[in-house]
Each structure stands twice: as C-alpha cells, then as structure tokens.
Chain A
Amino acid sequence: MEIFDQLGKRMLFFDGAMGTILQENGLGAGELPELWNLQKPELIQQIHHSYLKAGADIIKTNTFGANAVKLRGCGHSVQEIIGSAVCAAKKAVQANGGTGLIALDIGPTGKLLRPLGDLPFEDAYAAFREAAVCGEHAGADLILIETMSDTYEAKAALLAAKENTSLPVFVTLIFDEQGKLLTGGNIAAATATLEGLGADAIGFNCGLGPEQIKELLPQLKSCCSIPMIVNPNAGLPRCVDGKTVFDVSPKAFATSMAELASMGAWMVGGCCGTTPAHIAATVRACKEIPPTPLESHALTVVSSYSQAVPFGARPILIGERINPTGKSRFKQALRENDMDYILREGIAQQQSGAHILDVNVGLPEINETEMMCRAVTELQSIIDLPLQIDTASAETMEQAMRIYNGKPLINSVNGKQESMHAIFPLVKKYGGVVIALTLDEDGIPETAEGRLAVAQKIVDTAASYGIKKKDIIVDVLAMTISAGQGAAAVTLDSLRLVREQLGLYTSLGVSNISFGLPQRENINAAFFTMALQNGLSAAIINPNSQAMRKSYDAYCALSGCDTQCMDYIARYSQQTAETAPVAAAQMSVSQAIISGLKESAYSAAQELLRTKEPLLIISEELIPALDQVGKDFEKGILFLPQLLMSAEAAKAAFEVIRAQMDASGSESQVKKDKIVLATVKGDIHDIGKNIVKVLLENYSYDIIDLGKDVPPEKVVDAVKEHHVKLVGLSALMTTTVVSMEETIRMLRQETPFCKVMVGGAVLTQEYADMIHADRYVKDAMDSVRYAHELFGE
C-alpha cells in the first residue's frame, strides 16, 4: 500500500507508544531503547504486531534515537540498528497479512544546535541523512520526523530526508499548552518553515494530551495547507509518587481523538503512555470520520524561528541598513570581519520597529557566501525577526537559504530567464517568499502596463516551477525623479495595477525615488505615503529615519490598520513631554567617563574638540580617566558594571574624536598592537572574554575576536596570519581547560613568539602554571596590565 493512495480518502492511524511498552518490559531509565532491536527483536516485532492488530495503518520503527549523535559509543552502528528495527517492523507487517506501512521514526539528536548549543547544523544534517538513507535502504515506506522542539533541527532532518531519499516525509513537533516550541517558536512560524521546505504532512506529537491539542489544532489549521497529524500523549504528564505518568484512559483518549479527526486531522495515533488499547479505541471512534478537505491558504508569510510575519494586514517595514552600498563604515566592517557592527545595525533596526531585516553583504573583495552565511547565522541567533536574503549570487542565495532558520524573504528574482532559472528552483526547494523585480532582458519597462506584463510573466514562469502566487511579491521599481519626473507616477500606477490585476503584494526600495536630490528624506517620506496609498505592501527603508517612521505611523493611523490609533498614540503621546531637551549637564570628558555616562562623554568630547587637539584629549582626559576607574576597580571601591559603563563612555568619546580626525584628514589614531581573544573549544560561555575585549579596546589594542568554542587550530591560524604577540584565552569549566591546554601546546609549537594569558571562572594561578600559560589574569584589568607590560606601555 502506498501512503498517498490512502491519504485523505479515509482516516489513517498511527500506532501508539513504543518506549512506554519497552519500559513495562523492563527497559531501565537511561538505557538505549534502540539496542533492543538487536537484543530483543521478537519483543519489538510483537509490539508492532499488537498495534497493527489494534488497527494502526502506520507503525513507527523503534529508532527514535537511532542517529550517530545519540548512539555514539554504544558499540553498534546506525545502519545495524535501523536495519534491525525496520526488519522487526517488516516481520510484523508480514504477520499481519502484509497490511501496514512502516514509518522510519527519526527523533531529535538530544542536543541543541549552534549557537544555542554546540551541534553544528551540518553535523545534525549528516546524522539525519545517515538515518534516512539507512531507513529507505532497509525498506521503510515513509519517514516520520517527530518530537522536534526546534525548527532548526527539524529543518536539518527534513532537508536530509528530502535530499537523500525518495520517501514521503512527515514532521510532527512538540508544543506546549501555549502553542510554543521549547525553543520559543510558534505554530505559524514552524508551519511556514516546514511547509516551505516541502514536508508532506505536519502536526503535533508528544508534550500534550489530546484535550490540550484541541486548543491548538485550529491554529495549525488556519495556516497549514497540507495534511495534519496528531499523535498526542495519553494526557499531560502527572507526577505520581515521584514518577511521571500518563493516565488518560483509552476511552477518554479515543473520544478526544474523534474530535481532533473531525476538526481536520487526517492521521491520528499516540505518543507517550498510549497503548494498543488506546489505538484500538481511537480506530473504533474515528474510522468512519471522513477526512476534512484540505484548505489551500493563500497566506503570504515569512518567518524567523520564532515568529511568522504575514503580508496584507499592515504594511511591512523591511530594514535596509545591513547593506554596504554607499556606506564606507559598513564596508570597513565587512573587510575587517567586524560582525558586531553588522549585528548592532540589525538590533537598532529592530528597536526602530522593522518587521524584516534585509541582509546584503556583497563586496567584491570578500567571500560573499561565507560572509552571508555567517551574518545570517549570527543575526538569527540574537534577533527574532525574519530575514530577507539579498544577493545577486545564486550560490550565496542557496547556502544562506540552507542555513536560515525559517522561511526567508528572497531578494530577488527578475523577469530574465537566467534569473528565474537560477532562483525558482531554490524557492521551490527551500521555501521562501521571493521579491520579483519588474525588469527583464529588455530592461525596465517605462509604463505601468509594461511592468505589469513582466510581473505576469514572472508569475507564470514561477507556476511552472510549482511556486504559488502567494509566495511572490512584486517590486515595481522606484526610479529617481531627478532623471524624469514621470517616474513616480509610473511606479504608483504599477503598484495599483499589480495589486488590482494580479492580486499580489508589492514592495519597493522607496528611497531610490530621490536619488540625486538634496534633502532626500523630504521626497522619500512623501513618496512613501503616496506609495502606501497606492497599494504598497512592504517598503525597504531605513527604519531609523524619523521622517519615514512618521509617514508610516501616520499612514497606519489614517488608513485604519492601526486600530483606534493605539500604536500611534503609544509612540507619540510621550514625545511631547520630551520636546524641551534637558541641557546636558556641563561635565568634563573625564568626569563623564568616571561616572560612566555615555551620552555626556560623547557631548563633552564634541564640545572639547572645538578648543583642544584630539590627541591631547585622549592623553590628558580619556586615558587618565580610564586609569582612575581601573584603579578604583582593583581597590574594590568600584564594581564591574561601572567599570564597563566607564569603558563604554570612553568608547563613545573615542568615536567622536576619531570621526573628527578622519574628517580633518589627520592621521587617525593608530591602533596599537594586535591581540587575539578566544573562548576555547567546547566552551560556549564567553561573557568573560567579551569583558576583556571591551577594556583592551579602550586602550586602543586591536582585538581579533575569534568568538567562542574556538578550535586550537583556528587560534594558531589567526596568530600566524596577523603575527600576533599576545593571545588571551578564556575557559569557564574544568572540562574545557583541557582545550585551553591543547591550544597553548599548539601555540608553543607553531608560534613560539606569542605569549598567552588565560582567565575564566575555574582558573587559578596553579592551573595556569600547570597548562604552561605565560600569565594568569584574574580579571579584565589584569589583562590590560599584562598587555601594557608586554607591549611596553
């Protein structure tokens, strides 16, 4: 029997728990259930058989943890275990007269993926690929990826199964009662991601009982256009006599399952605590319920790991600041690998109210694919907004889409055959909403009708790749009015035509309209309002611009999409009170630094620059203030937060001074010697290292920050490449001091010219001596002192 022959024609039934029954048969806590495929194959076969007898159509193999990550060290290969598991399932099906489908069960690795944990996405993918390939080879009929609480891990598994087997792939996730995954994602976000990646069915398992899932299924149904699965536990876990139990009776379970089937689930079964009796009762209660026809939702939605952003309700703001075009500081950040700068641009835009962040890191002299993947990885680890991947390179696009944790916005495709041929297969495979620029081999049409025609062509071609209209957003292109004043009208007409005639959502890079004109914000803000009025659904703008923000907020209030002007009032009602800015208290630069007041330090430095040489301000104000703060810290009369506040205040002052020196063309303050900082391999806590970095930067050392969980070779490479004379290593735990020792050993061998200072919670002078560090630094100030000693301050 083929699953697709049956799916949707009648209710299909999964089996119930495997683990629960194995425990009843003596499986100890902590014992690997998968080993029983080898040790007690008859028992496994018998359990499968009892579920088939109960009426299950699909049995899940006893392979929940059968992946290389979980089985490490168990003495058996993944292939061996999956082979025996599928074999036991096959025998059970044979004993059932050949009726029954075998789902290769794939559970999570039990580890968190980077950067929350230490498992690289690629390693998770490789583990799932091995399992999926073994399962198909052994004869499974389909793959069920289950109990996933992280969409990123689910993505790794789904991609691995889809790319390496030809089996149908279902995915079920574990949500809490609020409809949240343990990693924080919600139903809409997870659905957008998994549907985009081509899952054949999705749904719920584990975590909750059927009663709780009844509350959540409507949410899934409202955004899911593919078949739904519900495999709940036999109720919520209860703690009885110190142990976890699931105790909803088969009858009660079945009654709830019948409701879930009537609500739209096509496949139902059980998870923890369910038994053949639960499944038998469920089959009796549900088998006559006809599957509800699938709803095809025309939702245009992008997602991050945690939230879905739908188009259509309120115009979407796409932050454009992560882009080097015309920004020398940004280009410098890219060249210097200064990821923190890029991340801060992202955070600032989120704070300004952007809904999506555009990410463009293209610069001829850097490896764009590498940089894009790094930027996407780091941005999605600290910002929960969906990203718009913006690149002209299909290769970069594909790699970024692979590692993106969600359904991205894709910037862009256009009407050229070459572009569509490169981009559409990626959209189809990885999922995403693609921005379609209305230009083709003949250039940009000069009329609105011409742009409409290109949009139509793109939509038609997309359809031939299996991409739905809902996943296309049309950018009708804003051209500067300084080249021809009719440009604005054509763009506005095009917006309207695309909205009205194609029913598609639209986007624009709004600020292009004013290129070449003075005071561009005036034009941009007015054009933005006009475009919104003509049907603009998403604007690529600088969300930090007050003028654009005001246009947007006013438009939302006027058009009614800001219900009762609540947001407008919330944003602007307090501002009247702030109209008279408080005169910055007259404070000297050094006072401001000692007090840790960033704004005051900034303005005091600005003021002082009128009368004093930049270099003198540094040597007579900044450095003495920093030294004073450092001394107070060491004496124990000033504490870490203040030390860092002072450091940040000094940094703000430095920035004004540096800007002035750059502007006047004088030699910008020369950076001092380079220092490499790293938190050693295996260690994912780097707050200590970051504190050290802030202080060393204050004293103008040029810090090469390698981040956390850094392999020894990477430290050595960086030291070699930049010929660095000092390395700072941090480790939090005794278990990672081993990596510290290894790193020092390699440095001694390969770069004997380099000194090593070490610090971190578990380190002591004795430890430092034992691993042959040159210096144990007890705190951040100590590291500054050592750097001064070494570099002859």
Chain B
Amino acid sequence: MNIDRQEVLRYLGYRNAEPSPEVLHHIADCTEELLQACTPHHIFHREPLRLVSPNIVSFAGITVHSRSLFQHLTGCTEVILFAATLGSPVDLRLERCSKLSMSRAVIMQACAASLIESFCDECQEPIAVEAAAKGLYLRPRYSPGYGDFDIAHQRDFLTVLDCPKRIGLTMTDSFMLAPSKSVTAVIGLTAEPQSCHIAKCMTCQAKNCPFRKG
C-alpha cells in the first residue's frame, strides 16, 4: 500500500506545476499519518454475469439497468463484486485535521483518496493471478454512480457482500459510503487480454471531471 505523490498532486489540481516544498512536506507527513492510522479491509465474491440486453446486466441476483455498465462488461463472462475500506480511523484523522488546518486537510484528503485506490489495486493483484490461471483478465473497477450505473445499487453490493459485518462498511440513506474512504465496484472477468490497458478514467462518462487522466 502506498500513496502516489503524482496522483495526490493531480487530485489537488496541480497539472504539471511544481508544488511548493511545504506542500510536498505535508504530503509526506499525511502519508505517514494515514498509513499508520488506516485499518484496511476488503471482501469480494465471484459471480456469473448475464448480459441481458444492451442496457441490462445481471449478476448475484442484482439487475442493473445501465448502458455504460453493459458497455464496460461486454465480452465478460463473470464478475467480481468487490468492496474495500480504509476504515473509520481515517475519517477521524481527516475530521481532526479539518479543525486545525484546511490546507493540510485538503492534502490529507487527496492522500487518502490515493491510498484507497492503491489499496484496491493491491487487493486486486491476487484476484488477477487467480483469474489468469483460468485464462481470464480483469476489467477496471466500475462503481455504482459511474456513468448511468445508478448509485442506489450501492445497497446491493453491501448486502450481497455482507459488508457491514465483514469489513465494517456501511452507507448512509443517501448512498454515501461510510467510512468515507471506501470503494464498492464490479470487476469484469474476460478472456480478452487487451481490456487491461483501458485506463479507468477513459471509460468513465464524467468527461469534464477535473481528475480525469489522459
């Protein structure tokens, strides 16, 4: 698990600009604090996938009406339902930091965002190895709320994976994950090897997102 400095700077809006030494110092410091505070957990299930029609996919008893998810999963035979969290102690640190210094708080926030992504990537490695043994490849993670994949499906992920009990991951009435630095996602399994090079951002429909890569 690590925090990617370039990624953090991108979240903070630095494109190619050089950050000040203070900012770099804060990034290093927040990285250390978060790595020490976080209590990462994850869980996943592998489930068969049915591509019902160009805007309906179904897995684990969940039927999703979404054109973008259909596109994303086209060519897949199975999916991994995945959930991960950095744990509530990270939220406590973020909250505490925002009382002391907002400049540091935005940096810590960006560091935590990078950390959860890196944690998810790390969790995915053994999954990828296992899939590879069967000649399958992983598509990038796709989460409720991306494209036209209704965020209300957050509930299905938490229920099917039994997230509150297994990894302490819950959601609010408005489908926000709590602890906040958490991810739920579906990962397609496909026999097409080229799907691996698709950068996550390129498949996302939020085209004016400031954090979009590429």
Contact = CB atoms under 8 A, between A and B. Distances in A.
A343 B100 CA distance: 9
B180 A239 contact: no
B92 A382 contact: yes
A763 interface: no
A694 to B, nearest CB: 5
A735 B174 contact: yes
A732 B176 contact: yes
Contacts of A241: 46
A596 B168 CA distance: 39
Contact of B60 (A29, A344, A736): A29
B182 to A, nearest CB: 11
A116 B93 CA distance: 12
Interface string B46-90: 110000000000001110000000000000001010000001110
A112 B103 contact: no
B22 A645 contact: yes
A684 B103 contact: no
A459 interface: no
Contact of A344 (B88, B95, B100, B175): B100
B107 interface: yes
B176 A683 contact: yes
A447 to B, nearest CB: 46
B99 interface: yes
B89 A690 contact: no
B170 A110 contact: yes
A7 interface: no
B46 A111 contact: no
A181 to B, nearest CB: 8
B39 A694 contact: no
B132 interface: no
A184 B43 CA distance: 18
Interface in A165-221: 174, 180, 182-184, 206
Interface in A133-158: 147, 149-150
A182 B168 contact: yes
Given A112-B170, A684-B172, A347 B98 contact: no
B178 interface: yes
A112 B179 contact: yes
Interface residues on A, range: 35 or more
Contacts of A736: 174, 176
Contacts of B17: 637, 639
B145 to A, nearest CB: 7
Interface string B24-61: 00100000000000010101111100000000000011
Contacts of A115: 95
Contacts of A739: 174
B44 A343 contact: no
A245 to B, nearest CB: 11
A596 B20 contact: yes
A591 B103 CA distance: 18
Contact of B178 (A116, A648, A733): A116
A382 B46 CA distance: 37
Given A347-B96, A645-B103, A242 B176 contact: no
Contacts of B60: 29-30
Given A382-B99, A648-B103, A690-B105, A682 B87 contact: no
B191 interface: no
Contacts of A340: 99
B174 A733 contact: yes
A117 B170 contact: yes
Which of B62, B96, B101 has the most chain A CB atoms inside 10 A of its CB? B96
A182 B87 contact: yes
B92 A642 contact: no
B204 interface: no
A29 B158 CA distance: 11
Nearest to B78: A242
B173 A682 contact: yes
B201 interface: no
A29 B61 contact: yes
Contacts of B26: 641
Nearest to A31: B61
B109 A639 contact: no
Contacts of B128: none
A117 B12 contact: no
B45 A117 contact: no
A556 to B, nearest CB: 25
Interface string A683-717: 11101001100100000000000000000000000
Nearest to A688: B106
Contacts of B105: 687, 690
A326 interface: no
B137 to A, nearest CB: 16
A28 B61 contact: yes
A149 B89 CA distance: 13
B170 A111 contact: yes
A107 B165 CA distance: 9
B191 to A, nearest CB: 17
Contact of B45 (A244, A347, A642): A244
Interface string A640-673: 1110110110000000000000000000000000
Contacts of B41: 182
Given A29-B60, A637-B17, A347 B23 contact: no
A367 interface: no
Interface in A117-144: 117-118
Contacts of A112: 88, 170, 178-179
A184 B88 contact: yes
A14 B96 CA distance: 42
A690 B174 contact: no
A648 B102 contact: yes
B185 interface: no
B164 A733 contact: no
Contacts of B61: 28-30
A180 B20 contact: no
Contacts of B94: 687
B6 to A, nearest CB: 14
Which of B98, B156, B160 has the most chain A CB atoms inside 10 A of its CB? B98
B98 A639 contact: no
B107 A381 contact: no
Which of B26, B41, B166 has the most chain A CB atoms inside 10 A of its CB? B166
A250 B193 CA distance: 43
Nearest to A694: B102
Nearest to B110: A641
Which of B20, B151, B152, B168 has the most chain A CB atoms inside 10 A of its CB? B168
A719 to B, nearest CB: 23
Contacts of A685: 176, 180
A243 interface: yes
B214 interface: no
6 contacts: A29-B61, A111-B172, A117-B172, A381-B92, A648-B102, A734-B145
Given A182-B87, A206-B165, A736-B176, 14 more contacts: A29-B159, A30-B62, A116-B179, A182-B168, A184-B87, A243-B45, A244-B43, A347-B99, A644-B101, A644-B103, A648-B101, A648-B102, A691-B106, A735-B152
Interface of A: 28-30, 107-108, 110-112, 115-118, 147, 149-150, 174, 180, 182-184, 206, 237, 239, 241-244, 306, 340, 343-344, 347, 381-384, 596-597, 637, 639-642, 644-645, 647-648, 682-685, 687, 690-691, 694, 732-736, 739
